[in-house]
Chain A
Amino acid sequence: MRHTLLQRGLLGMLMGGLLVGTAQARTLETAYGNVEVVDHPERVVTLYEGALDAALAAGVTPVGAVTTRGGDNVAEYVTDYLSAKELEHPEIVGVVREINIEAVLAQQPDLILAAAQLPEEQYQLLSQIAPTVVPHTQPLAADNWEAEARLFGQALNREEAIEEAISAVDQRVDAMAEAVAKAEVGENAYLVRWMPGGPMVMSENLIATGLLERVGLDVQGGELIGERGVHSDVLSLENLSQVDGDWLFLATLNDDGQAALDSAKQSPAFNRLNVVQNERVVPVNGQLWSSANGPLAAQAILDDIENALLP
């Protein structure tokens, strides 16, 4: 009898200790269950471009981040933002598909923000380093970034800043949609990535194409892409007329979008498209348009759209 009393007492003390602990931390619902995060994370590592973007939008500069797709640094719009605000540039801790766990450890993070696609084995490793927040996987959709940014905002304890950033995007989209409707610049658009053999049509479920839709352009080409695909296979040059709309946004991973456009123009099949003849091909940065996401990326994409449609 005394024995059980002692046990209960110990258990009670333990529970009490836990309660005190939770008072200082917050619990988040993530793809890998509930995760406790500290109240004011100071050393944040982001393993996902959307997480880096959301953290910056929330006013937190991560100490470590992964590179953008096809690059050896974070996306250009991020470095521009960091330089403009005179913020410290994050250390590179790998690429999205190949995270350098040792580099993450070296940053001694107190919070890790990762992509929904983070594999379980990596999660197990990372969560031993610091609380790791992984959003629930969703089917590809143009507005996924909003829910993800909100989760990251919660993790950073800066929900309000994220809400403000998202509603700033909403307001700008609405204003631009009105202006675009007035300007009567056309109805539809394609977003493609130009490869030497032909174009790959990008999904209408990306943040960039979603924003194009919201400002009033009908983004087409969805039937060329499989259900879960981000882009189509490289389209045969014989089928270029299938991407001949009112606008053609040409995403390129090269430094110089104009150079990519020039190289595409060497192809007679490209040159004869109406959209090319009408000079409505817009070279855009592929890092931003086909890889990045988050509230800052949305603003940068809207800048591009504004420059093209509403000069």
Chain B
Amino acid sequence: MLLTKAGSSARWRCSSRHWMLILLTALVAVSVVSLLIGAGSVGPRQVLGLLSGSDHAEARFIVWELRAPRTLIGIAVGVALGVAGALLQAVSRNPLAEPGLLGVSAGAAFAVSLALVLGASAATLRIPVAQLGALIGCVCVLSVARLRGVGSDPVRLVLAGAAFSGLLGSLSALMLLYDQRAADEIRFWVVGSLAGRRLDDLWAVLPSLLVAGAGVVLFARPLAALSLGERAASGLGHRPGLIRWLAVGCVALLVGAATAIAGPIAFVGLVVPFVARAIAGPDIRRTLWFCLPIGPLIVLTADIISRVVVAPSELPLGVLTALCGAPVLIAVVRAKRLPML
């Protein structure tokens, strides 16, 4: 009996390791493709030519100054949104909780738009503003989630989030009317994109990503205990209230950082933990590990598609993730039974 249990656990671990290996290989492959392909005329042949010593200035510039930063930023955004989604789902115990759907991204985007209209334009100011907006969005949505009747039904929380996002969207539209000249800059904050972002932006948000990452490592264990129920968690010596607030703080840091560099990108936080859970099972610790490669994988794939479908222009990344993510949401909701977290 004991032996079979140990055996199955070992097999699980083995297959889990295989999965991780496959995902990491896929991530490396997608990152390479992301360097090779773009909306411009520089294709795989010219880029590979660089390796064999060709002196194609245009290709060198496009790969190192445009595609490489974009790929790195895509990886960071994917990690941030994937982990934030998994955390938010664990904290709200709702498999549909997603930073984009629940209005956390909208909160960040709204805060930045407000700052822009009030005259701010410095890149350094943007990130704390976005994170503050994300935090306020988080708190609003989670307090709604604790209202009677909403918390018990996952779909209602999404509806509350949609209403909240709609409210923030209309306020942003109001600001557009108020100041039409800021419209061009704000339009970017309505639909997210990785185009034209610079590495400086990434370095600016890296500290908050690292802080959030360290936080996640510290409270992953109590967070897993929380999934047993608040009483069980308290019985194990954890403090559910504190864990919840720490997790919310991390979600705000992660989503605020991702939104500050790429604008609001919806559905990534829903799809990534969904896939990760399918591979890793219900344990939040394992889910979080798998979110690390799956997030960037999905964001980079979407970004590559967004570059080639309407070349020589580009589709905003946020539009593409919404197009692909919405069917997933419907499929998850329509599946006979939502997994309880």
Contacts and interface: CB of A to CB of B under 8 A. Distances in A.
Interface of A: 70-72, 195-198, 224, 232-239, 241-242, 253-255, 267-269, 272
A196 B193 CA distance: 11
B38 A236 contact: yes
B181 A70 contact: yes
Given A236-B40, A239-B40, A255-B181, A197 B65 contact: no
B193 A238 contact: no
B315 to A, nearest CB: 9
28 contacts: A70-B183, A71-B180, A71-B181, A72-B180, A195-B184, A196-B185, A196-B187, A197-B196, A198-B195, A198-B314, A232-B313, A233-B310, A233-B313, A235-B313, A236-B307, A236-B311, A236-B314, A237-B195, A238-B66, A239-B41, A242-B312, A253-B181, A253-B183, A267-B196, A268-B61, A268-B198, A269-B66, A272-B61
B140 interface: no
Interface of B: 38-42, 58, 61-62, 65-67, 180-181, 183-185, 187-188, 193, 195-196, 198, 307, 310-314, 316
Nearest to A234: B313
B64 to A, nearest CB: 10
Given A236-B38, A242-B312, A269-B65, A196 B188 contact: yes
A196 B58 contact: no
Main secondary structure of the interface of A (DSSP, over half): loop
Nearest to B191: A197
Contacts of A195: 184, 187
Return the 8 tightest CB-CB contacts between A and B, nearest first.
A238-B40, A236-B39, A233-B313, A239-B312, A238-B38, A236-B314, A70-B180, A239-B40
Contact of B39 (A196, A238, A255): A238
Given A198-B196, A236-B195, A268 B184 contact: no
A266 to B, nearest CB: 8
Given A239-B39, A269-B65, A196 B196 contact: yes
A235 B312 contact: yes
B41 to A, nearest CB: 8
Nearest to B186: A196
A195 B198 CA distance: 16
Contacts of A236: 38-40, 195, 307, 311-314
Nearest to A232: B313
A201 to B, nearest CB: 10
Given A232-B313, A236-B311, A238-B66, A197 B40 contact: no
Given A198-B196, A239-B40, 19 more contacts: A70-B181, A72-B180, A195-B187, A196-B188, A197-B193, A197-B195, A197-B316, A198-B314, A234-B313, A235-B312, A236-B38, A236-B313, A238-B42, A241-B58, A242-B312, A253-B184, A254-B181, A268-B198, A269-B61
Contacts of A238: 38-40, 42, 62, 66-67
Contacts of B181: 70-71, 253-255
A242 B180 CA distance: 29
